[in-house]
Each structure stands twice: as C-alpha cells, then as structure tokens.
Amino acid sequence: MKLEGKIAVVTGASKGIGAGIAKALGAAGATVVVNYASSKADADAVVAQIQGQGGKAVAIQADISLSADVVRLFDTVRADFGALDILVNNAGVAVFQMIEDLTEDAFHQQFNLNVLGYLLAVREAVKLFGPSGSIINISSILSTDPYLASSVYSATKGAVDTLTFALARELGPRGIRVNSILPGHTNTPATEGNFAGAFGEQLIAGTPLGRFGEPEDIAPLAVFLASDDSHWVTGESIRASGG
C-alpha cells in the first residue's frame, strides 16, 4: 500500500489506459478521483471496482479541454479532500488524417485536449499540492516514432514530452516531480479495430516483446512514478511499449 493516504486525480479514467491506472493507484492505497467526459456508467464501474478491492474512489465529470470544467473539477477535489498528491494527465484523443485531409477542427480538438487540457490540469493541481507531488503525463511512443497520418496527434505528444521537461524544471523547487509515460500500441476502446490486418502485423513485428500492450502493462509504471520509490526521478519520458 505504498500510496496509502495519497489523493490522486486521473483524467479520462472511465476506460482504457486511464481506467487501468486508476485501478492500480486505488489498489496501492490512493483515494482516486476518476474523471470522465461523458461515460458516467463506465466511470461508476471503475469506482465500484476500486471500492470492491477495499479502495476509495469517486467519479467526477469534467471536459478537460474546457478551462471552466477543469477549474470546477479541482475545486471539487479541494472541497471534498482538501489536498492533492498525484495528477495523471491521461484524457486524450487521436484523429488520424493524411495531411491533404487536415481540418482545423481536428487540430484544435487534439491540441485543446492533449496539450491545453494537460496544462490547465497542472495549473489547477499545483494549487492543491503540499510540499511534494507527482504529475504523470501520458504521452505516446508516436512522439518520437510517428506513423502514417499521425502528424497532428504525434505533435501533441511531442509537446507533452517537452512540457513535461519544462514543468519538471519549473516545479522541482516546489518538490513536485513531473514525468511522462510513452505507451506503445495498447488495446483500449480507442484502438479497437485499429490494429487489424497487415498494419497490426507490422506493428507487432516492430515490437520486440511481440504483442500489443494492455492498460495493465502501463499501470505499474504509473504507480512507480506516483510513489516515493521514484523520489529522485523527474523530467523523464519513459517508454512502456514492449520495446
């Protein structure tokens, strides 16, 4: 129970990687705020699973791309728990388009959630941290190894790695560590059907451990980065991708 007594917010925790991380943080003893955008039933199910293992969790709706929603989310955390120790910036969206098909809407949708949303959450979270804290930004291996039709999405994740490093420097003197996790190709609702056929075979061939990831493959690294076991680690971007 290395996170006993800690309060954690995980954005986009109603499914996929965020749900996996929320459950692992809960199992390690943290009280977990399970944020979601629209899938209340899924978020409630994650909360129920955490509680079923003896953990503590609540679900809070907020669209992380909207400043007013992010402020409301962290105001609720302040009112309910009084403090915060761990923020996992996970809520993200991917729109894969060849450059000829680029739309400004798709650009803003991805940058507003994947980059602005992460920054807004950090802005509000740091007001609640005590003398220490851990921020974990979910990036992607596409930040350094983009594939076809991913220019905008990969650029958002490159920005996540850079803002991670910049914020680690800015927040280090306040005892707040900031790291990013770069998942590889991971089975989640977002990727359902994406890894079929020859494309999927090509991705597996480029993965030394020879399979797609699962949220449970990513979550232990988040627990490590959230805990004091990683007390000397900040500003790092760590791949969790099977190689």
| Residue ranges that bind ligand NAP, judged by CB under 6 A | 11-18, 35-39, 42, 63-65, 90-94, 113, 138, 140, 183, 185-186, 188-191
Q: Which residue lies nearer to ligand NAP by CB, 72 or 175?
A: 72
Q: Which residues contact 123 (CB under 8 A, 6 or more apart)?
A: 70
In whole angstroms, the minimum distance from the beta carbon of 232 to ligand NAP comes to 26
Q: Is 153 labeled as catalytic in the residue annotation?
A: yes
- Phi and psi torsions of 98, nearest 5°: -65, 155
Count, residues in the chain? 243
- The token duo for 145 is 């190894």
In whole angstroms, the minimum distance from the beta carbon of 30 to ligand NAP comes to 18
Q: Which residue lies nearer to ligand NAP by CB, 107 or 175?
A: 107
Q: How many CA atoms lie within 13 A of 220 on its CB side?
A: 6
What is the rounded distance in angstroms from the CA atom of residue 131 to the CA atom of residue 32?
Answer: 20
Q: Which residue lies nearer to ligand NAP by CB, 173 or 243?
A: 243
In whole angstroms, the minimum distance from the beta carbon of 48 to ligand NAP comes to 15
In whole angstroms, the minimum distance from the beta carbon of 167 to ligand NAP comes to 17
Q: Which residue lies nearer to ligand NAP by CB, 36 or 129?
A: 36
Closest by CA position to 235, among listed 167, 139, 140, 151: 167
CA dihedral 73, 79, 82, 88 (to 10 degrees): -10
- The token duo for 102 is 């680029």
Q: From the candidates 36, 118, 147, 153, give the one annotated as an active-site residue.
A: 153
What is the rounded distance in angstroms from the CA atom of residue 48 to the CA atom of residue 71?
Answer: 25
- The token duo for 206 is 């480029």
Q: Which residues are catalytic?
A: 153
